[in-house]
Amino acid sequence: MAEDRKKETLETSETLPFIEKPFVISEKLKDSAEDGTGRGEESEDTSCGFWIFRGPFMQRFATEKMYVILYGLAGCVMTMTFAYFNATITTLEKRYKIPTKTSGIISVGNDISTMLTAALLGYYAGNGHRPRWMGIVSRLGLLTIVAFCLLTSSLHFLYGPGEDALKLTKEFGQVNETLARQERDKKLCQTSAGGCIQEVGQWVPQVFLFVAQLISGVGQALFYTLGIAYMDDNATKSKTPAMLSMSTFLRMLGPAIGYSLAALCLRLYIEPTLEPLIGREDPRWMGAWWLGWLVLAAMMLIAAFLLFMFPRELPSSRKRRLQLKQYERRQSLPIKERSFSDMMKTVRRLSKNKVYVYNTSASILYFFGYMAYWIFTPKYIETQYRQSAAMATMAAGTVALGFSAAGVLISGYVISKYRPSARSMACWNAIVDFVTVAGILCYVAIGCEGSDRLNSLSTLSTGNSCSASCHCDYVLYAPVCSPDNITYISACHAGCTERTKDALGRTIYTGCQCMDSSSLFSGTESQFAVDGTCPVDCFNEFLVFLAVMCFLKLVGASSKSTNLLIALRCMSPEDKTFALGLGSMAASLLGFIPSPIFFGWLIDNYCLVWGKTCSNKGNCWLYDTKSLRYALNLTAASFIFMGGFLNISVWYHAKNLKIFDEEDQPKGNSNNKEVELKTMDSKSQEK
């Protein structure tokens, strides 16, 4: 009888996966032994600090809340760097004569490296000891961002502020009056064609910037792909929305601070020790773009040090890991046994998950359309509403992103309190897309008539045969204003032959023969121009645009948590990290990479005045603002509109998707019972 009973027990254990076999008991005893005799290794993995910074006092910080704070702060500094780069793009274009399309290519360098590394890291590292990989992130991932900051700022120390910026300073004329006089004479009407503008090594800064972006993408992939999954693994499902919202909120403070730092640095001249002869509102103004990178590098080092202090594994999750250790050994292949064919099987399994596919596709379309505003909003404000680079940066960053942070916090509170279903979340995502489209259509109507008129008159004034006879092709952009409020690209384009100073110290150009064809006045008394662009007041329109933009930021940010929760819950736990990496790769390949290049090309198509050099056409100084406003906004709105319909598809297929745990879960009398329930639940999910 005893033998029969023993045989029956063994046979039953073969068919019921939740009943442990004899070797499982021995393994559990082995784990218990490790917990006792081998406790030193586990203690190091769950204790804060390192070297002399480790102690009993530090261990109180090894909690979920502290991880969220440290992870959020590190992400805050990381997003500061990307926001700072976007805020200084227009200055970099002026300094190194980069077309908008090329700056778009440079800005996607980090997305290219993210695309190449995110999915592989998610697959090979995600099923390993994720906390250990987070330790690598703190050492290498964030340190690559430090390298990114230092490499970008090194351009200024290698190439200096540039001749264009130096010629606009008081010290330039004091050091060499002859060169200053020759430079001023170049702006006047010439009897013979002048030489082209030489730019030695112009392509090298562009390569520097692109390589720096590539390096930053590796750290970004390590940080986000493993960090979010690690956070979700170390918290119950009910706590995940609040933790995601808090970490996202802290990260979203980064762009606001980054844009504020850029606004502060751009108020200083590119060479702070020199006195500029122009004001910040002058389109030729170049701020100290390089200064903020040094500050960001120091802050990133501090963030890396703090994250390095965090334990490799939370003590609260260690008990669960030991309980599920045998189950994970059965279900997961060791990292060394993983192969490319296994990864492709996972890809095919995810491709059949309709919620995952539609949710990812909707996000890609949204990203593609909205990337134009994430990167080029400061440029848009400068060209459309005639605001300085510092003001445009402050509006696009500090003010607008404050509403984004509020949207994330509000959505996190609502989700945690009311626990909406997956369908409700997908429905809200679709509503957000359509509201965003409506707001972008408002952008089309919010134009500045004075700015549109100024640009059209400037183009007409440069296209006449009179200015062509003055050989102004390679004259630098130095706008002058005529008595009838028409801006000319330079005194040469206005046909001016003489230069004087008035009682107020302003530069006055006289003998401007090319004004006769367009001037409302007649006679030689009208043939003069004042240095600088004609005044245009677009501030009221700018405030209306800012109000609409802040509203869209508030609404758009409220869908971040809902979108991510659907992505985390629509797949089995073992596929979660790889699915996040695969989604990041797809978003980079189809959204983040092509979108800046496409919209950069679109913006360049509406350029009216290029800064010509011997090698290429350089950067753009003047745009057809009205045509650009229609083309940019309508194109972006069309992509987001299509994404809204895909979110409707998510709503349709997410009817059985479970976002939260049940309120009252059955509790067993032992840890083995808890393992059994989780095993059965995982088996049912696989089927």
Whole-model pTM: value is 0.72
More confident residue, 287 or 283: 287
607-610 and 480-481 beta bridge pairing: unpaired
Residue 267 CA: distances (Å) to CA of 156, 296, 416, 463, 534: 17, 18, 42, 34, 22
pLDDT of amino acid 22: 35
Mean pLDDT across 533-545: 89
Please give the radius of gyration of the chain, using alpha carbons only, rounded to the nearest integer: 30
Closest CA to 493 of 505, 482, 506, 508: 482
Q: Which of the four pLDDT bands, split at 50, 70 and 90, describes residue 8?
A: very low
Q: Which of 164-173, 293-302, 319-328, 577-586 has the highest mean pLDDT?
A: 293-302
Q: b/e map of 588-609 (b: 16 or more CB within 10 Å)?
A: bbbbbbbbbbbbbebbbebbbb
For the chain, the structural domain boundaries read: 62-326+350-448+538-653, 450-531
pLDDT of amino acid 236: 57
Mean pLDDT across 63-73: 77
Which residue matches tokens 């961002």? 145
Mean pLDDT of the chain: 75
DSSP 8-state code for residue 518: T
Q: Which of the four pLDDT bands, split at 50, 70 and 90, describes residue 57?
A: low
528-531 and 498-501 beta bridge pairing: unpaired
* Spatial contact of 623 and 455, defined as CB atoms under 8 Å apart: yes
Q: Which tokens go with 532? A: 């600088």
Q: Which of the four pLDDT bands, split at 50, 70 and 90, describes residue 551?
A: very high
Cβ-based neighbour number of residue 93 at 10 Å: 19
Mean pLDDT across 285-298: 92
CA dihedral 102, 106, 111, 114 (to 10 degrees): 140
Check the CA dihedral 606-612-617-619 and report its sign. negative
pLDDT of amino acid 288: 92
Q: Which of the four pLDDT bands, split at 50, 70 and 90, describes residue 613?
A: low
Mean pLDDT across 345-351: 85
- Residue 659 pairs with which residues in a beta bridge? none
- Does residue 559 sit in helix, strand or coil? coil
* Spatial contact of 264 and 687, defined as CB atoms under 8 Å apart: no
Q: Which of the four pLDDT bands, split at 50, 70 and 90, describes residue 645?
A: very high
Domain over 62-326+350-448+538-653 is classified CATH 1.20.1250.20: yes
* Spatial contact of 558 and 334, defined as CB atoms under 8 Å apart: no
Q: Which of the four pLDDT bands, split at 50, 70 and 90, describes residue 575?
A: confident
- pLDDT one-digit tens code per residue, 434-468: 999 999 999 999 988 888 877 666 665 555 667 77
DSSP 8-state code for residue 226: H
- pLDDT one-digit tens code per residue, 462-495: 556 677 777 777 777 888 888 888 888 888 888 8
Q: Is the pLDDT of residue 216 over 80?
A: yes
Mean pLDDT across 566-594: 80
Q: CA 502, CA 497: separation in Å to the nearest integer?
A: 16
Least confident segment among 5-14, 141-150, 446-455? 5-14
Which residue matches tokens 């020759």? 182
Mean pLDDT across 394-410: 81
pLDDT of amino acid 544: 94
Q: CA 684, CA 687: separation in Å to the nearest integer?
A: 5
